Amino acid sequence: MIKRLLAGMVISGIAGVAAAEVEFTANSFYAAEHPHSKYGYIEWAKMVEEMSGGELKPNVYTGTVLLAPRANLQGIRDNVVQVAHHAAVYTPSEMPVANSIQELGFNYSDPLTMILASTDFSMNNKTQLQEWADKGVVYLGSYATPPYVLFCREPVRTLEEFKGKRIRTAGSSVSQWVEKAGGIPVNVPSSEMYTGLERGTLDCASNAANDLIDRSLWEVAEHTTMLSTGMYWTGPQWGFNPEFWSGLSTEHREILMEATARAMSRMIVEYVGSAEEKLALAKEKGNNVYEPGEDLLASAEEYRANSVETAYQTSQETYGLSNGKEVIDDFIATYAKWEDLLADVDRTDENAVAELALREIYSKIDASTYGIQ
């Protein structure tokens, strides 16, 4: 187990000579207060440094100062940064496996189960692992969003109100549904939602409810419709440059694995709580919150019912996977496995979630060989 190994490291470190410090750059394109940055990078970095006795020193950048959202994959690959968050939907042609899995986005609404299932799948499925290796990424852990809802400049509750609206989406699955329902999908990064809504180039944006406050969307979108348009999880929350990763000691890789499991668990527990709290706060600020009308909801449900078969087809025809059905079925089975594993776990206890992740995922990964090419 990682925990037992770390205990041994602490003991041996007291008696031995301290290893050389490893200083490296870590990047999350989300603002500092966003859960993916606050818990996934800022607090993660402090944890890494503390757990390593100061031997590992991540220098964290947040926002788009260092890299634009779509540039993180290349930044990892080129060693501009040694670890970064990258959303696979921003580079669909470069990550066909991850994006084939994201085609299931409309089907799920449980971010806690998803973050663990996605990590498990992404660190064990051979086809997905080969994609990470081919693209110059060592995958260490997932992210997952709460279900995305609609933030709009004017009320959008029915298919009639939805028709013709320019809606910020991410990924082909939700874009296909938007088109089918009569809307116009606009694929721009989440960092561009505010300006798009403010200037009227977007009528609605689809994202997690906490962004009403965290990104001040309540100021430019007075109307929120609680229609789940799926969730996102593909691409690494922590993607390491392979050369940097290979240059670390096995002990340092073990530390990064445990820190990732613990930060990931805190991140998702806090993210879910934040989405609920920020929606309530937006209401207090005067945001109008609606349930979707019957016809709008029925349209989404009809699309959802056929989405697995659509994902099979898209994985082959759009992304060119010869084994797309096999990969997608493996992901669905992994998700079901984690539904069972979480059945008796306190979902608000980040330590309980972390211990489960350590036991079922990270303790089964050999840090001396994982990600080494």
Mean pLDDT of the chain: 92
Report residue 84 as tokens: 């970064």
* Residue with token string 């299931």: 104
Give the Cβ contact number of residue 265 at 10 Å. Answer: 25
Instruction: Check residue 189 and give its pLDDT.
Output: 85
Q: What is the CA radius of gyration of the chain?
A: 20
Query: For residue 199, is it within any domain?
Result: yes
> Cα–Cα–Cα angle for 15, 23, 371, nearest 5°?
90
Query: For residue 301, is it within any domain?
Result: yes
pLDDT digits (tens, 9 = 90+) for 318-346: 999 999 999 999 999 999 999 999 999 99
Q: Which helix (H) or strand (E) holds 62?
A: strand 56-62
Q: Which residues pair with 289 in a beta bridge?
A: 224
Query: For residue 175, is it within any domain?
Result: yes
- Asked if residue 271 lies in contact with residue 168, where contact means CB atoms within 8 angstroms, the answer is no
Query: For residue 208, is it within any domain?
Result: yes
Q: Rounded to an integer, what distance in angstroms lies between the CA atom of residue 186 and that of residue 167?
A: 6
Query: For residue 23, is it within any domain?
Result: no
Instruction: Check residue 171 and give its pLDDT.
Output: 67
Total domains in the chain come to: 1
Give CA separation, 58 vs 280, 285, 364, in Å. 35, 37, 25
- Asked if residue 164 lies in contact with residue 283, where contact means CB atoms within 8 angstroms, the answer is no
Q: Rounded to an integer, what distance in angstroms lies between the CA atom of residue 31 and that of residue 189?
A: 13
Q: Rounded to an integer, what distance in angstroms lies between the CA atom of residue 132 and that of residue 235?
A: 9
Low-confidence residues of the chain: pLDDT under 70: 1-19, 171
Cα–Cα nearest to 58, from 29, 16, 28: 28
Give the Cβ contact number of residue 108 at 10 Å. Answer: 21
Instruction: Check residue 170 and give its pLDDT.
Output: 73
Cα–Cα nearest to 52, from 77, 24, 27: 24
Q: Rounded to an integer, what distance in angstroms lies between the CA atom of residue 273 and that of residue 268?
A: 9
CATH number, domain with residue 289: 3.40.190.170
Q: Which residues pair with 223 in a beta bridge?
A: 152, 288
Instruction: Check residue 6 and give its pLDDT.
Output: 41
**Helical pair 172-180 and 294-305, crossing angle rounded to 10 deg:** 130
Query: For residue 222, is it within any domain?
Result: yes
What DSSP character marks residue 106? G
Instruction: Check residue 8 and give its pLDDT.
Output: 36
Q: Rounded to an integer, what distance in angstroms lies between the CA atom of residue 311 and that of residue 319?
A: 10
pLDDT digits (tens, 9 = 90+) for 38-70: 999 999 999 999 999 999 999 999 999 999 999
Instruction: Check residue 272 and give its pLDDT.
Output: 92
Cα–Cα nearest to 99, from 135, 68, 63: 135
3-class DSSP assignment, residue 311: helix
Give CA separation, 73 vs 20, 43, 87, 139, 245, in Å. 28, 22, 9, 12, 15
3-class DSSP assignment, residue 245: helix
Query: For residue 144, is it within any domain?
Result: no
- Asked if residue 371 lies in contact with residue 250, where contact means CB atoms within 8 angstroms, the answer is no
Identify the burial level of 44 via C-beta atoms within 10 angstroms of its C-beta, where 0-12 means exposed, 13-18 middle and 19 or more buried. buried
What DSSP character marks residue 220? T
- Tell me the residue type at 352: A
Query: For residue 210, is it within any domain?
Result: yes
Q: What range does the domain containing 195 cover?
A: 149-231+279-307
Alpha helices (H) along 103-171: 111-124, 126-134, 159-162
